[in-house]
């Protein structure tokens, strides 16, 4: 056993012993700060509950200016403030990322519309849904279908009025009202050719709408990829 292995063995033994004897774990960056400040009883100040961990960005921000007579209390305060528990939801706070939806189908085109709600599309189902952020679920909003052809919406954008503008792979350009009724705005290009299937859209500062059209002609034509993508 070389020195490094011995050290690992001793550390492992100490950790296991500590666990068996019920020594609570401590937060490393706190111990460093605590010692740097010349405080005593750092093992107590920097104690964390078993199963908890500390969100480092939070810790860094919280502890950066700690100094002076209240330092010990302030350090403990930061430990409390920045602790994250064992469950998935809490652990995700460590990265400040929170999973909101667990839909199995692919999602596209997230948009906060003018009514303040978040909307997303499930393009394989041809659906636009409203997201209930509070309860982390989706609410059916509109199913796109024209003359028996189901839509495959890919992009959403706020446009003039309270309408949501939709680029659709199969149905072209659509406009959805707040009550969920919709209409096809464009199905032909300026050469009077069937519009190519659409992907994304954006309004510029002058109010012009720009769309990408990377697919073949829209329904009733069968779906194909475009041979020459165009932007109109
Ligand atoms: C950083 O800490 C200050 C006060 O200590 C607080 O007001 C601020 O919200 C914190 N910022 C972050 C990103 O946590
Ligand atoms: C995790 O983040 C959510 C949303 O910001 C918050 O409500 C919750 O209190 C956080 N949990 C912990 C343990 O910090
Ligand atoms: C769209 O269709 C799905 C399933 O086919 C259904 O669950 C949903 O309620 C429909 N949405 C609307 C707005 O009718
Ligand atoms: C939605 O509102 C429009 C007017 O903005 C109206 O013409 C249409 O009938 C309404 N549709 C439904 C389903 O309520
Ligand atoms: C679409 O494909 C089916 C099956 O290949 C074919 O029978 C039909 O004629 C096609 N429709 C069009 C509009 O090309």
Of ligand 5's listed atoms, the one at least distance from the Cα of 222 is 1
Burial of 22 (0-12, 13-18, 19+ CB in 10 A): exposed
Residue 173, judged by CB atoms within 10 A of its CB (0-12, 13-18, 19+), counts as buried
Domain of 114, CATH number, reads 2.120.10.30
Confidence (pLDDT) at 84: 79
DSSP 8-state symbol, 92: G
Specify the pLDDT at position 91. 53
Dump pLDDT digits (tens) for 186-196. 999 899 999 99
The answer to whether position 90 is within a domain reads: no
Containing structural domain, residue 202? 108-231
118 and 78 in one domain? no
Q: List, for residues 9-66, the tens digit of each pLDDT value.
A: 544 444 444 444 456 788 999 999 999 999 999 999 999 877 778 888 899 999 999 9
What value does the CA radius of gyration of the chain take, rounded to a whole number of Å?
Answer: 28
What pLDDT, on a 0 to 100 scale, did the predictor assign at position 23?
Answer: 64
pLDDT confidence bin for 161, thresholds 50/70/90: confident
Question: 129 and 40 in one domain?
Answer: no
**Number of the ligand 3 atom closest to the C-alpha atom of 142:** 13
Residue 161 CB–ligand 4 contact under 6 Å: no
Ordered alpha helix ranges (H), the chain:
3-21, 28-36, 42-45, 56-63, 71-81, 88-91
Ligand 4 site, residue 177, Cβ cutoff 6 A: yes
Q: Identify the residue whose C-alpha is closest to ligand 5 atom 9.
A: 222
In a domain, 59, yes or no: yes
Kindly tell me if the per-residue pLDDT of 1 is higher than 80: no
Compute the mean pLDDT over every residue in the chain, rounded to the nearest whole number: 85
> Domains in the chain: how many in total?
2
User: Does residue 224 line the site of ligand 5, with CB under 6 A?
Assistant: no
* Residue 5: pLDDT over 50: yes
Do 222 and 114 lie in a common domain? yes
- In this predicted structure, what is the pLDDT of residue 117? 96
User: Within a domain: residue 100?
Assistant: no
Whole-number pLDDT of residue 10: 43
């Amino acid at each position: 056993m070389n020195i490094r292995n011995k050290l690992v063995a001793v550390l492992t033994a100490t950790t296991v012993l500590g666990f068996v004897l019920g020594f609570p774990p401590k937060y490393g960056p706190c111990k460093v700060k605590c010692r740097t400040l010349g405080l005593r009883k750092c093992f107590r100040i920097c104690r964390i509950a078993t199963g908890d961990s500390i969100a480092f960005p939070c810790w860094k921000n919280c502890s950066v200016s700690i100094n002076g007579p209240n330092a010990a209390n302030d350090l403990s305060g930061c430990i409390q403030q920045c602790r994250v528990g064992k469950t998935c939801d809490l652990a995700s706070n460590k990265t400040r990322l929170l999973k909101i939806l667990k839909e199995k189908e692919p999602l596209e085109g997230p948009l906060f519309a003018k009514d303040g709600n978040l909307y997303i599309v499930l393009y394989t189902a041809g659906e636009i849904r409203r997201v209930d952020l509070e309860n982390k679920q989706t609410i059916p909003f509109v199913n796109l279908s024209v003359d028996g052809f189901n839509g495959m919406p890919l992009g959403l954008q706020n446009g003039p009025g309270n309408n949501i503008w939709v680029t659709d792979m199969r149905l072209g350009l659509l406009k959805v009202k707040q009550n969920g009724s919709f209409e096809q705005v464009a199905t032909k290009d300026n050469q009077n050719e069937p519009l190519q299937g659409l992907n994304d859209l954006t309004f510029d500062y002058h109010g012009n709408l720009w769309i990408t059209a990377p697919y073949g002609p829209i329904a009733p034509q069968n779906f194909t990829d475009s041979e020459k993508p165009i932007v109109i």
